[in-house]
Amino acid sequence: MARVCEVCGKKSQMGNTVETRGKAKYLGGVGTKITGIARRQFRPNLQRVKVVTDKGAHKTLRVCTQCIRSGAVRKVVRHKPFQVPNK
């Protein structure tokens, strides 16, 4: 399944691109006109991320950026954080 978030299931959606021409009324023109409408696809922003699963295993998933930012997945810690040595 290409272009699908493996956590939330977000996938591509269809929409329109709207072509306009003309000068806006508030700028002194007669208003903008729609000159063309074409179909397009809105794709989710997917990233390949190494994730820690519930059982502690490391796995690479294709995850949308909203799942990464919201904390739905936990990234793998590659290096231990720096610790001050005790005297």
Count of domains forming the chain: 1
In a domain, 82, yes or no: no
DSSP 19-82: EEES--GGGTSS--EEEEEEEEEE---EEEEEEE-TTS-EEEEEEEHHHHHHTSS-B---SPPP
In a domain, 52, yes or no: yes
Q: How far is CA 29 from CA 19, 41, 52, in A?
A: 17, 32, 57
In a domain, 5, yes or no: no
Taking the whole predicted model, whether its pTM rises above 0.85 is answered as no
To the nearest whole percent, how much of the chain has pLDDT over 90?
Answer: 82
Residue 85 structure tokens: 């040595």
CATH code for the domain of 56: 2.30.170
Residue 63 lies in domain: 13-70
Facing residues of 63 across strands?
Answer: 47
List the pLDDT tens digit at each of the 87 positions of the chain.
Answer: 589 999 999 999 999 999 999 999 999 999 999 999 999 999 999 999 999 988 989 999 999 999 999 999 999 988 877 888 887
Place of tokens 């005297």: 87
